[in-house]
Chains A and B, each alone.
Chain A
Amino acid sequence: MTTTTTPPAAPAKARRRPVSDWWNRLSRVQQWGVLIPLVALVYLLPVLNPPLITTQPGYDFPIAMFEVSRYALVAIGLNIVVGQAGLLDLGYVGFFAIGAYVMALFTSPDSSLAKLPFLVVLPIAMVVTMIFGVILGTPTLRLRGDYLAIVTLGFGEIVRLLADNIDPLRGNRGFQGVGHPPGVKADGNPLFNNTDGIPWYWLCVTIIIVILFVVGNLERSRVGRAWVAIRDDEDAAEIMGVPTFKFKIWAFVGGAAVGGLSGALYAGQLGFVNNQKFDVVTSMLFLAAVILGGAGNKVGVLLGAIVVAYVPLRFQAIAEYKYLIFGLALIVLMIFRPQGLLGARQRLLAYGRQAYQRLLGKGEQVSSDGSLVSDKAGEKA
């Protein structure tokens, strides 16, 4: 994780990445030219229901796609905390649960609270989880590494146990009829219902794209640079004047907000929330998605989430063994490829040099690891 501060030329050559090199050499316009059809394809996927990819007849394909996109959203949120800021959070499911419960409390007829529309509750759910992010973060972020991990694990368990035990949260009985976004079909039935995954999938993919933009911009901002500094060496960052505590809270709150958002979406699609889905194992699966793909790499965590969510749905025969396979996969992967399927990319230096090159009036050809592809003379000039 920490090998990224000084990208020397030698390992860059040893580890060739044809796809990302090719990608980085494309101009902006060309990149868009590739991206737009790709995104269109992603949107069309549940409608096309391609024969090899489909999960039917075992599992409804559009709903499976929604599950996958939901995991992807969670992985992006957790990646902010674990991948970007390097804070190991084992209780992320707590935020997910809070989001789901806020949605249920404000929209379900089983709750005694005021009923609000879905779209109003969505930001409320995010704000409430952010507040919980601060509540968890403020006292605990002084802790380092393993201590932080165990406290977050404890937090996740406390949230679950509270859902078990606090009477208004209805424990195992749960909340029926959780709200959904507005909109009706031509026949008068609601557009977003529990059986049709396609609108939910589209909604979730749209949210993912928006969040990817936000997170991508955050990465390049002062906040993102502070996170990387903290991840690589917290003490050094502190000494160099980075207010580490503040930025750690930022990471926690940002991650929490995305977790709450995905929890709220999940509650809406399922239409039912009870205390069964928020155990530590789920938290571990979220973390597995991030680590599997490559913590700190947006494309990587998306890939990891897709693997973690899709494979058990596609291969129902192995679904029973999914935790066993996960465990084995994690061990084998950590031994042979500890940085994940796609390792964390250190783009910051690349961005810095890009800017420098632009100042000098040169091209902006920078390879994925941050070393210059174009002539070295410009650097010396």
Chain B
Amino acid sequence: MTPDLSSLVLAQGGGSWITFDVNSFLNQFWDNTIDGLSYGSIYALVALGYTLVYGVLKLINFAHSEVFIYGAFATWFTFYGLGFRPGATPELPIFELIGFLLLALVASMAVSGGTAVVLERVAYRPLRKRKAPRLVFLITAIGASFVLQQILFIWRGGNPEDSIRLLRNDEVFTIFGGSVKIVTIITVIASILLMIGTDMFVNRTKFGRGIRAVAQDPDTATLMGVNKERVITLTFLIGGLLAGAAALFYMMKIPQGASYQGGFILGIKAFTAAVLGGIGNLRGALLGGLLLGVVENYGQSLFGGAWRDVVAFALLVLILMFRPTGILGESLGKARV
């Protein structure tokens, strides 16, 4: 607010490295918070996939970012198939709009869920049969990530698809001077509903109990009559479905369209979110996602757009230094009956 704070500069040699733009930070605080929450809920949805798989298999599913981007492509092709083309946003009646969005959501979730299940079958199941050590799973995940990415690259080329938009980027109302857009409302509300749904599924249903049992102790769970293979497939399926939903919101939000590499950074960020909250912990993923989204946006307005990703990774290192198992700790396995 005070003018002497507004351009605090870390000077070195001739030029300045980092500029602290305190004014921009203060002026756009609420805008950033709202925008951060909507990014954060996308991260959280993807992070749930990482967390579920990690909880059950103790595996960082590096290919989950590709599962996500397959959903994004499914969204794009659904819009394209419905006759929309990149460029101007069409004026649609509200029911039609909702119908199209739901259609895209279903397509995206189906493709992502399918990809995740196929991935599990093809890449991870043979390793489980051979009782491979955990490092081997991780390398396979990296390999699978390469393969899925390159299939997209060979099919669609290196350039991102042009963005197709169904929703206008209009402001609906303002909170404390921060503008709230229709995309933000849909993203945040739908994400939170999906996360509550997932949480209830895992904590309240019979299948969920199976997931928690396998996460806690796979051998004992098997002895108790839990079908471990089915639980693992189910876990990948849920993760994939959530990633698919996240992909739709992501496509509505970002200015550019889907690109074959588009999932990579988002995947790392979502994983960061999962680790922040405590990987293997569903509520931790939500907390970590929202926290990461908001802090990242604050960092962006404070240091400038280019520093966004640096802030995210620095936050990861900082939190792990003080809490090596994340904010809420690992807990999918510690069943709350």
User: Which of A139, A323, A327 has a CB less than 8 Å from the CB of B317?
Assistant: A139
B310 pairs with A151, CB closer than 8 A:
no
| In the complex, chain A residues whose CB is within 8 Å of the CB of B317 | 139-140, 151, 154-155, 158
| Shortest beta-carbon distance from A326 to chain B in Å | 6
Given contacts A165-B306, A165-B307, A330-B140, contact A324 B17 (CB under 8 A): no
Q: How far is the CA of A308 from the CA of B133 in the complex (A)?
A: 23
Q: Is A36 on the interface with B (CB-CB < 8 A)?
A: no
Q: How far is the CA of A238 from the CA of B12 in the complex (A)?
A: 44
**Chain B: interface residue total (CB-CB under 8 A):** 52
Residue of B nearest to A331 (CB): B143
B149 pairs with A153, CB closer than 8 A:
no
| In the complex, chain B residues whose CB is within 8 Å of the CB of A284 | 142, 146
A330 pairs with B321, CB closer than 8 A:
no
Q: Is A335 on the interface with B (CB-CB < 8 A)?
A: yes
* B122-130, B218-226, B239-247, B249-257 - the one binding chain A: B122-130
Residue of B nearest to A168 (CB): B13
A145-159 CB mask vs B (1 if < 8 Å, else 0) is: 111011101110110
| In the complex, chain A residues whose CB is within 8 Å of the CB of B151 | 324
| Shortest beta-carbon distance from B306 to chain A in Å | 4
Q: How far is the CA of A338 from the CA of B137 in the complex (A)?
A: 9
Q: How far is the CA of A49 from the CA of B233 in the complex (A)?
A: 52
* B32-40, B166-174, B182-190, B267-275 - the one binding chain A: B267-275
Give the interface SS of chain A, mostly helix, strand, loop or mixed: helix
Q: Is B198 on the interface with A (CB-CB < 8 A)?
A: no
B320 pairs with A280, CB closer than 8 A:
no
A158 pairs with B143, CB closer than 8 A:
no
Interchain residue pairs with CB less than 8 A apart (8)? A147-B325, A155-B313, A161-B307, A168-B17, A287-B139, A323-B146, A324-B147, A334-B143
Given contacts A154-B272, A168-B12, A338-B133, contact A327 B146 (CB under 8 A): yes
B60 pairs with A323, CB closer than 8 A:
no
Q: How far is the CA of A142 from the CA of B272 in the complex (A)?
A: 18
B262-288 CB mask vs A (1 if < 8 Å, else 0) is: 001000100110010001000000000
A338 pairs with B15, CB closer than 8 A:
no
Chain B, 132-170, CB within 8 A of any chain A CB: 132-136, 138-140, 142-151, 153-154
B272 pairs with A2, CB closer than 8 A:
no
B275 pairs with A334, CB closer than 8 A:
no
| Shortest beta-carbon distance from B295 to chain A in Å | 14
Q: Is A204 on the interface with B (CB-CB < 8 A)?
A: no
| Shortest beta-carbon distance from B215 to chain A in Å | 15
Given contacts A147-B324, A161-B309, A165-B310, contact A1 B272 (CB under 8 A): no
Q: Is A329 on the interface with B (CB-CB < 8 A)?
A: yes
Q: Is B175 on the interface with A (CB-CB < 8 A)?
A: no
Q: How far is the CA of A142 from the CA of B126 in the complex (A)?
A: 32
Q: How far is the CA of A246 from the CA of B180 in the complex (A)?
A: 52
Q: Is B314 on the interface with A (CB-CB < 8 A)?
A: yes
Residue of A nearest to B326 (CB): A147
User: Which of A1, A143, A155 has a CB less than 8 Å from the CB of B133?
Assistant: A1
User: Which of B138, B140, B264, B321 has a CB less than 8 Å from the CB of A146?
Assistant: B138
A154 pairs with B17, CB closer than 8 A:
no
Q: Is B2 on the interface with A (CB-CB < 8 A)?
A: no
Q: Is A219 on the interface with B (CB-CB < 8 A)?
A: no
Q: How far is the CA of A126 from the CA of B321 in the complex (A)?
A: 26
B130 pairs with A338, CB closer than 8 A:
yes
Please list the 9 inter-chain residue pairs (A to B) with the smallest Cβ-Cβ separation, ordered nearest first.
A330-B143, A327-B146, A327-B147, A324-B150, A154-B313, A338-B136, A331-B143, A327-B143, A165-B306
Residue of B nearest to A322 (CB): B150
Residue of B138, B143, B264, B279 most packed against chain A (CB within 10 A): B143
Q: How far is the CA of A153 from the CA of B264 in the complex (A)?
A: 12
Q: How far is the CA of A329 from the CA of B13 in the complex (A)?
A: 48
A327 pairs with B272, CB closer than 8 A:
no
Given contacts A88-B138, A165-B306, A327-B144, contact A150 B316 (CB under 8 A): yes
B316 pairs with A154, CB closer than 8 A:
yes
Q: How far is the CA of A146 from the CA of B150 in the complex (A)?
A: 25
A158 pairs with B310, CB closer than 8 A:
yes
| In the complex, chain A residues whose CB is within 8 Å of the CB of B138 | 88, 146, 149
Q: Is A328 on the interface with B (CB-CB < 8 A)?
A: yes
Q: How far is the CA of A161 from the CA of B311 in the complex (A)?
A: 10
Q: Is A291 on the interface with B (CB-CB < 8 A)?
A: yes
Q: Is A375 on the interface with B (CB-CB < 8 A)?
A: no
A1 pairs with B147, CB closer than 8 A:
no
| Shortest beta-carbon distance from A364 to chain B in Å | 32
| In the complex, chain A residues whose CB is within 8 Å of the CB of B147 | 324, 327-328, 331
Residue of B nearest to A337 (CB): B136
| In the complex, chain B residues whose CB is within 8 Å of the CB of A112 | 13-14
| In the complex, chain A residues whose CB is within 8 Å of the CB of B307 | 161, 165
| In the complex, chain A residues whose CB is within 8 Å of the CB of B142 | 284, 287-288, 327, 330
Q: How far is the CA of A284 from the CA of B127 in the complex (A)?
A: 20
Residue of A nearest to B147 (CB): A327
B143 pairs with A139, CB closer than 8 A:
no
| In the complex, chain B residues whose CB is within 8 Å of the CB of A326 | 143, 146
Q: Is A321 on the interface with B (CB-CB < 8 A)?
A: yes
| Shortest beta-carbon distance from B272 to chain A in Å | 7
B60 pairs with A334, CB closer than 8 A:
no
Given contacts A2-B133, A167-B15, contact A334 B146 (CB under 8 A): no
Q: Is A110 on the interface with B (CB-CB < 8 A)?
A: no
